[in-house]
Structure 1
Amino acid sequence: MTSSPTTTDPLPRHIPEPSGTAALLIDDAGRYLLHLRDAHKPIWRPGHWAFLGGHNEPGETCDQGIARELCEEAGLHIPDLTPFITVDTLDAAGSLHDRVLVYLGTLNRPAHEIPLHEGVQLRWTHAAETVHMTMDPGTAAVIHAHQADPLPRVGSEGGLPTVRVREASGHRDRSVVGAHLVLIRNGAVLLGKRHPCSVFAPSAWHTPAGHREQNESALACMIRETAEETGLTVTERDLTLVHTVDLVDPGSPTPRIQLFFAASDWEGEPTLREPDRCTEWRWWPLASLPDPTVEYTRVALEAISRGAPYTAMGWS
């Protein structure tokens, strides 16, 4: 999807009130708190990095809405929230599709200590890092506007500044790409037990895996995710693509291409690097996988043992 964010003067007061809110939270190091939205649900911007927030409930003011969303999503209570900017999302014809009021606030708390109840991950991020991430266009536009002018201001019309993002004129189905490590030692494969609070497959066993970021190859993703999750070091020359799962999940509007790479060599022993996402690593015999194992992972491992290169799942 493409978009073209533009900072504009405040719009006239007859423009509809915001239907949702978001929180632009900054720490003393100048980093932004970003939220990786779940990619397995039919939601706005699945699999994108965005601010915490959401739609207002009926009869709810924006102040009430952002306070509720922060509490529900991450157990946060931010006392200094101030309206900062409005984000208008326009459709391809230029009509207003959605309007969100963004609040500015400060928070100094490690991301791993914030109890995330919705989505996949929280991360403190410098503005320069966002160019390498799959960003919600509105979120990226707000960060750009804040970098240019970090203080809240009211325009000549008495309203807040506005950034506008326009949806692409055309639509093509795109697939999320995931990379999975198949690490086999003495006939056993390395699997991790997902955290019981995980949104996707809680307490199920899964290979080291992750989604590739913007401008990142699948191999680079595999190397990065392996290091981040297990502490192991693998190189491109040690990785071979051994299976592809072409997946449609009934709970997600986005098709997914799951690539499984076998490693012929690696350095180190697996360690828990992300205990909020994985509770243990264990070697399991290929002929006796644990229950539950993520279904498409089980299917892929069984197909790899047969030498089958491709599996389609969920397509009608």
Structure 2
Amino acid sequence: MGPAEPASCVCADTVAVRDEEPGIASALIHNGGGEYLLHLRDDIPGIREPGCWSLLGGAREPGDRSWEDTVRRELREEAGLDLPALEPFAVTGAVEEGSAPASVRVYVGQWDGDPARLPLTEGVMLRWFRPDDMDRLRMHPTTRDLVRTHATGRATAPSGAVRHGAGAVRHLVGAHLYLEDPAGRVLLGLRHHSAVFAPNTWHFLAGHCEQESAVSCLVREAEEEAGLGVDPRDVEFVHALHQLPGPGRWPRLQLVFRARAWTGVPEVREPDKCLGWRWFDPAALPERVVPYTREAIAHVRAGRPYSEAGWE
């Protein structure tokens, strides 16, 4: 296939995003050689970005419990891909012809396979491209900018962290729920054996902040994961762990909040992620606990509001 003339797709634009449904989740996939996986979409009027090179992804469906669920489902359905790790990267916007703007959550992941071997079910083809090749491709400027932003960050940031702007490094924010029952026991959940992060290990009820405040994330995750009702007015901040997980990983700010009151009894609402909830004596935690969870519990009980890990 010869080089295409540079062109813009008329179906998308950079817009003020809405923090409501519906929305789209896309995957920015790169390999170890600095190339990015692009999807040549069908040239059919009425679809999003017809005839353009784009990111794999699609619209959120009612059965998706999170935006990460959406992008993982789309990767499986469109290309048979199941990546070990996907992390939030950006929120942008798209415009469908004749419809209102929709928010787009972009996740980033690494894969080093041959796209020609993937069982593509939609579109024309998948191919690797270097960022410098993208000026000649028919693709939306927002997609091109996302790739270049990520590529610049990979080239310049220390310890694999992604830089944005003049020296700024993107951080992931996690919200964690610290609950104690009347006996002083702490609530933990056993993560599913197929979980990418900490399988078969006990952890706080927690989640990554999306386009929302940390307390709003906490309230949402409590209901989605365990059927618990938490009033934001009953939530108090108790600890922050500033964490650098390791080379190639984004820094994380793990925020821990205590709920002074709640409604409901913990139940398994997401059996593909959590196998069960139990209350533990904080002085006798099980052996398999996420290390920073164990540390955070100790800090909360000692009244220490801040700690760091991995920055040495």
Normalising by structure 1, report the TM-score.
0.58
SS at match of 1:82: coil
Letter in 2 for 1:82: D
Q: 1:13 to 1:277 in 2, by over 3 A?
A: same
User: Is the counterpart of residue 144 in structure 1 residue 90 in structure 2?
Assistant: no
Paired with 1:245 and 1:220, the residues of 2 have a C-alpha distance of 19
Structure 2: distance between partners of 1:255 and 1:104? 25
Structure 2 segments unaligned to the other structure (5+ residues): 7-20, 44-49, 101-122, 124-135, 150-163
Task: Indicate the residue corresponding to 2:52 in structure 1.
Answer: 86
Q: Structure 2 vs 1, CA of residues 162 and 146 (structure 1 numbering), >3 Å: closer, same or farther?
A: farther
2:263 corresponds in structure 1 to 267
Structure 2 residue aligned with 1:13, among 4, 15, 30? 4
CA distance in 1: counterparts of 2:95 and 2:187, whole angstroms: 41
What SS is found at the alignment partner of 1:303? helix
Q: Distance in 1 between matches of 2:58 and 2:184?
A: 52
Is 1:313 aligned with 2:309?
Answer: yes
Contact 1:54 1:66 in 2 (8 A): no
**Which of 189, 212, 220 is equivalent to 2:216?**
220
1:297 offset after TM fit, Å? 0.6
Partner residue of 1:250 out of 243, 246, 253: 246
Instruction: Kindly provide the amino acid, as one letter, of the partner of residue 184 in structure 2.
Output: G
Instruction: Give the distance between the partners of 2:170 and 2:60, measured in 1 at CA.
Output: 35
Please give the alpha-carbon distance, in whole angstroms, between the structure 2 residues aligned to 1:86 and 1:192.
43
1:202 aligns with 2:167: no
Q: How does 1:1-316 map to 2 (within 5 A)?
A: 13=4, 34=25, 50-51=26-27, 54=29, 82=42, 84-87=50-53, 101=54, 110-111=63-64, 117-118=82-83, 136=90, 140=92, 143-145=94-96, 161-165=138-142, 166=145, 167=149, 170-185=166-181, 186-214=183-211, 216-316=212-312
Distance 1:220-1:86 versus aligned 2 partners, 3 A rule: same
Distance 1:119 1:57, change over 3 A: closer
> Paired residue for 2:10?
none
- Which amino acid is the alignment partner of residue 206 of structure 1? H
Unaligned runs of at least 5 residues, structure 1: 1-10, 16-29, 35-49, 68-80, 88-100, 122-133, 153-158
User: Root-mean-square deviation (CA), in Å?
Assistant: 4.0
Distance 1:148 1:189 in 2: 47
Query: What is the number of equivalent residue pairs in this alignment?
Result: 222
**Preserved CA contact (<8 Å) 1:193 1:203:** yes
For residues 231 and 57 of structure 2, the distance between their equivalents in structure 1, rounded to whole angstroms, comes to 42
- State the distance in 2 between where 1:211 and 1:119 align: 17
> Deviation digits for residues 108-136 of structure 1, max 9, x if unmatched?
99558957832568xxxxxxxxxxxx664
Higher relative contact order (CA 8 A, sep 6+): 1
**Secondary structure at the residue paired with 2:169?**
coil
Letter of the structure 1 residue corresponding to residue 286 of structure 2:
P
Percent identity between the two aligned chains? 34
